Structure 1
Amino acid sequence: MDEFNKGPENSEGNNKIRNPIINKVTRRTRSITDKDGFYVILFICICIVTTTAVWVSKNNFDKANNLQSLDYLQFAEGYYDDIENLEEEEESKDVTLIEIDEKESEETKSEETDKELTQDTEDKGAETPEEQKTKVTSAQSNSASEELVVTTMGQPTVGNLSMDYADSTLVYSKTLDQWTTHYGIDIKANEGAAVKVVLDGVIKSIERDTDYGILITVDHGNGLETKYGCLSTDAMVTVGQEVKKGDAISGIGKGAGIELADGPHLHFEVIKDGKNVNPKNYLPKFK
């Protein structure tokens, strides 16, 4: 029993003996752990620094490559621009030379033409001052003659305008019941009223026309003629007869041919150099 009771005391003594050993081991373990932690932290820092340095170096290298590529592209663009400018300058020079050659060629041709004309004039003989004066006088005479015709032509009969001149437009024809051209004017007048010559002239023709019935043409010279249609008689004048302005050559008929439905009237035309013209440009104004 005594030995049994001493057991706990011996156990406490053993614990006291063991505690210093355990404490020593613990201190050593902590010391080792503290040293290992330091090295681990140091290793991690070295890794971070190394990684950062590598990344920075790579980034700088990429930037340098990009700058070199950009410089190369700019250099290439400038090079090709210079080539294009040189080509344009060469083309401009070529065009200028071509224009100069063409201009010189035209001037040469013009000089040759002038020489040929001068030679022809010398061969044929130049016009004398008298010949030139005659031409000018003739032109002035023709112009004055036309102006005189316009201002001195008389009315072919007394009446009112019933159908106008129409070469580029159309007028309505009662007889044909359609729109048509009309190369003269119609003057509505009383049946049997006198039809007179508007200018001095010669009776050129007397005919029975299918369109305008009895038709008399008077030649006034200088390419001017007048025609009188839808007349009542052809017995008052003869072909070749000279007539004076205001002479009666026939009377107003009832209408004929393509103007039969228009009633009594005079169909009057003016022909200049073979072409119909508007008679109102030659006649006095209608009231």
Structure 2
Amino acid sequence: MNNKGSFKNEGSFGKRIVSFFKESGFYVAIVVGLCALAAGAVFFSTNQILTEPEPDPQQQNLIDNGQNEFSLLDDFPEIPEFDESSINDSNGAEYADDGPDDSLIAQENTNPGANEITLENEPADSGEQTTVQEGSPEQTVEQEEDSAQTTSGGIMEDGTAPVDNVVLAIVKPNFTVPVEGKIQNGYSMDKLVFSPTFNEWRTHSGVDIAAPRGEVVRAIGSGVIHEIKNDPRYGFTIVIDHKNGYKSLYANLASDSTITVGKEVKMGEAIGSVGATAIFESAEPTHLHFELYKEDKLVDPEAYIDFPK
């Protein structure tokens, strides 16, 4: 029998389902699993939102006032208002907060100026006098200003002259000339002078006073013989300490053994005579080489001693 083109019966409905799952069951299982995961995620997220914990009861007391400021409620008891209208002292007297008592003001006005000082040097156009309490800072400032004022003659009240009127000048000590004669070679430490002995320009640390050989040399002031030496440059030399910050040096002297170190001398007392022992000034006419020191520093003798011109 020819069955070409006829319907092929492949079995019952149940067999067809089983055959379908055998062929496509793997894919069906993946789809079902994805659906289960999606349903679980939705369930857990919904359950977490619905079961969100309630806020702390203490936080409920914080109330937002609309300006990011919070106030605590029910944490502190109410403080009763204090009535300051009257306060009793220990004797039972009442004080009202209504300003000062008019009776006290009247008593103070009965004795004006008891502890006040009137300032009379106020501007003319003010029309009022200012009063200052005794011992106040204003009174102290006024007293200090008055004490600093000077008299019309420019002299302070304590008898001293103002600093602005003081003229600084060299105070000359009470010195006399060491030998009579004119200065032939002056002090020059800031510029060079010509030396005939060396035939060159050099500085000069003292003054050369013209005097004949053998002329008496005298102390310019009272003091003590500080040093006696034979200087290789200026010959026989004597130094006197005047005990007032000054020292005097006498060089180019004639050798003398009668003077000793430590001997006290008085102003004008003879200490030696002019000689010719200074090798550094041997080409010059006979003279006394004289130096003056103030606080052990060389100074110009002509600024402190009146030499004859």
> Normalization by structure 2: what TM-score?
0.44
Higher share in helix: 1
Decide which structure has greater strand share. Answer: 2
Larger radius of gyration: 1
* TM-score where L is the length of structure 1: 0.47
Structure number with higher relative contact order (C-alpha < 8 Å, ≥ 6 residues apart): 1
